Structure 1
Amino acid sequence: MTSANPQPRVTHERGPVALQERQERTPSFLSGYFAPVLDESTAVELRVRGALPPELSGRLFRNSHNPLPGVIPSHWFKGSGMIHGIRLREGRAEWYRNRWVRTPALEGKPYMTPQGPDLTASTAGTHVIEHGGRILALCEANLPFEMSRELDTVGVYDFAGKLTTAMNAHPKVDPVTGELHFFGYAPFPPYLTYHVASPTGQLVRSEELPGVGPSMIHDFAITQNYVVWLDLPVIFNPQEHSGIPYGWSDDYPARIGLMRRDGPVQVSWFEIEPGYILHLANAFEDRRGRVVVEGPRLDRAGWYKSWNWWAGAEHGPAPISGSHKHRWTLNLATGTVREERIDELVTEFPTINDKWHGRAHRYDYAVSFPATEGAGYALVKYDQLNGHRHLRPMGPERMPSEAVFVPAAGATGEDEGYLLSVVSELRRDGAELLVLDATDITAPPVATVELPRRVPGGIHGSWVPDAPTV
């Protein structure tokens, strides 16, 4: 069934003037799925195929690295943030719009100054979340930037002056307390600072962690009683010239740390096999009191191949190589850790139903990346209970974004809801929002929203409901 929505009306606005120099070579992260769009646009009354569930009343925001026209950054992660928004309400797709996050870095101001790093000179291009009524665009080296719900840039946000470190791009909300847990890391002491904000957005805790080195800490996790830290062998290296001064070190041990949420800042460390973890799916305490940590893991070869792609030196089929679903089981009583690879698929961007953050989950979702030229992308659903893996191939020249879970109205089961994924298409240089039934991702889509332009591939986003789902 197709809705009777009219053709979308599209307007375009000029972006800010580029201030950086052009470079001749176009790296892989500025071509194909990842080629930046050149301007800002607005479209209303988008065409919908199928029927949008009425409980999908809110906004899907998705961030992307999208440098200004003529600008070629030295690394994928350094592309300026552009947020793409889709407004759904009462079974309609009311609008799509894309806007750059207007930060000092967008206008060419440097991160490093004679006085030290400028935490406001952010790309703001990694993630976008909502907390305490504020929409925050995030990049782990900087302070967050607040956006309006129509994607106008409000300005830098420092929690009323209380946040004096950077804020990482993957904060965690405790589904029971509503608290926001996050951290800031730096290449110099203090290397790691832990923060907690109240449900309404007041910063209530900031503490430096001892015993951590200058590693690149992209993600972490919380459980009911613990904070899970990652201290891995990608460390600050001023001699690294690939765009960002971090590189692999064979001499730096890989560790996972556990710190009680209700106690002093004291971390118990567990040494693990060398590897790097970009994103964790979840962590939880099992019935025996052990802490289980899950997420894709890059081995040394996978790290180098992926990093070279991000730095523009590798032109493989995908930006992720050698990343496999992994599980670590940490036993505080014995001080031991058990590691196991769960799947051979190359996957990244793991997500779950957020109501299970820090609790034992059954289902998680990920994007499967092609390992060879010509192979396709897919969405994956994992069932922890029976070990099953369900694949939804995207088809030729189609790349999905990470699957954002939205609960169905009156849901009681963990997977009763919808997966929202923005699919970028090369053949027609377009995109669509795919709405899947999370209980069966192989079934025909519940609805598909036709977007007026291609959305660059990759990076993270959030669903921001108009009101809490029941």
Structure 2
Amino acid sequence: MTISYKNTVKHTLKPSLHPYLNGAWTPNFDELTATDLEVIGTIPSDIDGVYIRNTENPVHEAIGHYHPFDGDGMLHAMVFKDGKVEYRNRFVRTKGFDAEQEAGEAIWAGIANNPKKSKRPGWGAQGYLKDASSTDVVVHAGQVLSTFWQCGDGYRLDPFTLEQHGAERWTPLDGISAHPKVDERSGEMLFFNYSTYPPYQHYGVVDSDNKLVHYTPVPTPGPRLPHDMAFTENYSILVDLPMFWNPTLLEQGKYHAEYHPELPTRFAILPRYGTAGDAIWFEASPTYVLHWMNAYEDGDEIILDGYFQDDPDPAPLPGLPPAAGKMMANIDLCSLKTRLHRWRFNLKTGEVKEQHLDERALEFGTFNQRYAGIKSRYLYSVWNEPGMFLFSGMVKHDLETGDSWELPFGEQRYGSEAPFAPRINAKDEDDGYLVSFITDMKADRSECVLIDAKDIEAGPVCRIILPHRISSGTHATWADGQSIRAYQNP
């Protein structure tokens, strides 16, 4: 292994028994660039692109309670080409990160704290949090875009080198939520944001040249907490979910989310370049949904898949202090009882049909992004370690036949969201690899694994040993190398 770059970021974090500050969630402070990595097996030569995962990685002692979604954004990237690979990781140099580096301490209180404890105003949807840019990551117009779940600036980096390009210049006043969607066929990126003041939600389109070309309000009845969106060839899908801030407490500056099972889940389906007046609203069973999968048009219907929560407001996990038990239950897929689910919306009649597609607790799914917005057959989900936000294995679904296949990661081996990487000259939808980081607590190391998407039960095709054990995190993406180079070298 050759390390060509190393930087240790200034930090004040102390060793902790907090479940999301130790074990597989132990933060990293070293930024590295490494080549000539140890490989178990052989790196395929028919893969060209970059796998990037975002991570909540705090560098300073928290003000009050630490929630895992408060951590600073750190990107980990694997660049594959010609059977070779490079690894690098970098913090996202957000305005908040730079300010706290200069101060040498935390300035902003996290989501589980009184916002009055923050020493400066914040950003985004609530105006009190640090915009950590630590939730999601996509590649659009040849550049990485990292985003924050509570809305923020969005930050651009080079996908091959992770060179920092700063905050996105077209970002609206209300920011960008996590989970903007890239349509690989058109090159467009669709996004939304939300806030605590009217009209509470906006929707926008950025073209293939990274120019904001459409931005419009899609109002909701009050402040809401959407987390994701979906799209088809001609439509975008936004949601009004019955889990949102308590309005009375919000007036007092306190942010406490409550579930309202008496309210329906509402879906706004509007043309890609439509406005609120074009939206068709549908009502469905109450739930909360973190992540939607693919959506597509089928005659008069739109079909949407996602992860329905049977219990969006679970009881605290036993054996822990109430605050910690509640926090961990709210990010434990087993407690939330997340189920793969399908909604069918009839654009002519307004009828909604829905059903569970699987009774296992699954989430954080991926699919071949070349099929985003059109009918797709295969979906890849993960399950978590009960009681912890750690992924213990994956499931491949054939949505046409109903068949499924499982791959456990192994004892004390925890994976990442695993995007699909098409083979060069791929012949069909599942002709490619699933890419994931695995943290092996027994071996005290992390690996990047490639799994043949046609046969996940066979396990990894290769395992690439990373130069350090990395912290667990949330979302990841795959981007085609040839497409990136076409943008960077037109």
Shorter-chain TM-score range? 0.7 to 0.9
Q: Is the 8 A contact 2:407 2:459 kept in 1?
A: no
Of 252, 261, 266, the match for 2:272: 261
Cross-structure match for 2:332: 319
Of 241, 257, 260, the match for 1:232: 241
Cross-structure match for 2:8: 14
Q: Is the 8 A contact 2:53 2:473 kept in 1?
A: no
Counterpart code for 1:195: G
Kindly tell me: are residues 100 and 115 of structure 1, through their superposed partners in 2, closer, same or farther at Cα, counting changes over 3 Å? closer
- State the secondary structure of the residue aligned to 2:282: strand
1:123 matched to 2:128? The reply is no
- State the secondary structure of the residue aligned to 1:410: coil
Cross-structure match for 2:377: 362
Q: CA deviation at 1:244?
A: 5.6
Q: Is the 8 A contact 1:377 1:399 kept in 2?
A: yes
Kindly tell me: are residues 244 and 64 of structure 1, through their superposed partners in 2, closer, same or farther at Cα, counting changes over 3 Å? farther
Deviation per residue, 1:22-64 (Å, 9 max, x gap) = 7997432223322222333333211122222223233221101
1:28 matched to 2:15? The reply is no
Q: CA deviation at 1:262?
A: 4.7
Deviation per residue, 1:381-424 (Å, 9 max, x gap) = 00011100110111100111111111111113111111101111
1:407 matched to 2:435? The reply is no
Of 78, 84, 101, the match for 1:86: 78
Counterpart code for 2:81: R
Q: Give unpaired runs (5+ residues) of structure 2.
A: 101-105, 110-114
Kindly tell me: are residues 444 and 74 of structure 1, through their superposed partners in 2, closer, same or farther at Cα, counting changes over 3 Å? closer
Counterpart code for 2:77: G
Q: Is the 8 A contact 1:131 1:200 kept in 2?
A: no
Q: Is the 8 A contact 1:376 1:397 kept in 2?
A: no
Q: Give unpaired runs (5+ residues) of structure 1.
A: 1-6
Cross-structure match for 2:147: 138
Instruction: Supply the distance in 1 between the matched residues of 2:264 and 2:443 (Cα, whole angstroms).
Output: 46
- State the secondary structure of the residue aligned to 2:289: coil
What does 1:198-209 correspond to in 2, within 5 Å? 198-209=207-218
Q: More displaced, 310-319 or 36-45?
A: 310-319
Counterpart code for 1:178: G
Instruction: Supply the distance in 1 between the matched residues of 2:62 and 2:472 (Cα, whole angstroms).
Output: 18
Instruction: Supply the distance in 2 between the matched residues of 1:221 and 1:438 (Cα, whole angstroms).
Output: 23
Kindly tell me: are residues 206 and 304 of structure 1, through their superposed partners in 2, closer, same or farther at Cα, counting changes over 3 Å? farther
Of 296, 309, 330, the match for 1:284: 296
What does 1:144-163 correspond to in 2, within 5 Å? 144-148=154-158, 149-159=160-170, 163=172
Instruction: Supply the distance in 1 between the matched residues of 2:264 and 2:14 (Cα, whole angstroms).
Output: 37
Q: CA deviation at 1:220?
A: 0.7
1:60 matched to 2:51? The reply is yes
Kindly tell me: are residues 377 and 347 of structure 1, through their superposed partners in 2, closer, same or farther at Cα, counting changes over 3 Å? same
Q: Is the 8 A contact 1:80 1:124 kept in 2?
A: yes
Cross-structure match for 1:74: 66
Cross-structure match for 1:3: none
Instruction: Supply the distance in 2 between the matched residues of 1:310 and 1:256 (Cα, whole angstroms).
Output: 34
Q: Is the 8 A contact 1:27 1:312 kept in 2?
A: no
- State the secondary structure of the residue aligned to 1:367: strand
Counterpart code for 1:297: F
Deviation per residue, 1:252-303 (Å, 9 max, x gap) = 43212211225443322222211110001111112x3211111111123565
- State the secondary structure of the residue aligned to 1:122: coil
Instruction: Supply the distance in 2 between the matched residues of 1:247 and 1:164 (Cα, whole angstroms).
Output: 26
Kindly tell me: are residues 444 and 264 of structure 1, through their superposed partners in 2, closer, same or farther at Cα, counting changes over 3 Å? closer
Kindly tell me: are residues 309 and 344 of structure 1, through their superposed partners in 2, closer, same or farther at Cα, counting changes over 3 Å? farther
- State the secondary structure of the residue aligned to 2:406: strand
What does 1:186-201 correspond to in 2, within 5 Å? 186-201=195-210
Instruction: Supply the distance in 2 between the matched residues of 1:47 and 1:26 (Cα, whole angstroms).
Output: 32
Cross-structure match for 1:4: none
- State the secondary structure of the residue aligned to 1:313: helix
Instruction: Supply the distance in 1 between the matched residues of 2:441 and 2:321 (Cα, whole angstroms).
Output: 19
- State the secondary structure of the residue aligned to 2:290: coil
Cross-structure match for 1:385: 400
Kindly tell me: are residues 191 and 432 of structure 1, through their superposed partners in 2, closer, same or farther at Cα, counting changes over 3 Å? same
Q: What is the total number of aligned residue pairs between the two structures? A: 455
Counterpart code for 1:210: P
- State the secondary structure of the residue aligned to 1:446: strand
Instruction: Supply the distance in 2 between the matched residues of 1:396 and 1:221 (Cα, whole angstroms).
Output: 34
- State the secondary structure of the residue aligned to 1:346: coil
Q: CA deviation at 1:67?
A: 0.3
Q: Is the 8 A contact 1:352 1:363 kept in 2?
A: yes
Deviation per residue, 1:93-140 (Å, 9 max, x gap) = 23x222211223221454979997534941010112211122221113
1:296 matched to 2:307? The reply is yes
Q: CA deviation at 1:343?
A: 0.8
Q: More displaced, 9-18 or 269-278?
A: 9-18
Q: Is the 8 A contact 2:200 2:222 kept in 1?
A: yes
Q: More displaced, 403-412 or 206-215?
A: 206-215
Counterpart code for 1:235: F
Instruction: Supply the distance in 2 between the matched residues of 1:273 and 1:409 (Cα, whole angstroms).
Output: 42
Q: More displaced, 415-424 or 66-75?
A: 66-75
Of 37, 48, 54, the match for 1:46: 37
Counterpart code for 2:73: G
- State the secondary structure of the residue aligned to 1:189: coil
Kindly tell me: are residues 167 and 317 of structure 1, through their superposed partners in 2, closer, same or farther at Cα, counting changes over 3 Å? closer
Kindly tell me: are residues 302 and 455 of structure 1, through their superposed partners in 2, closer, same or farther at Cα, counting changes over 3 Å? farther
Counterpart code for 1:62: R
Higher helix share: 2
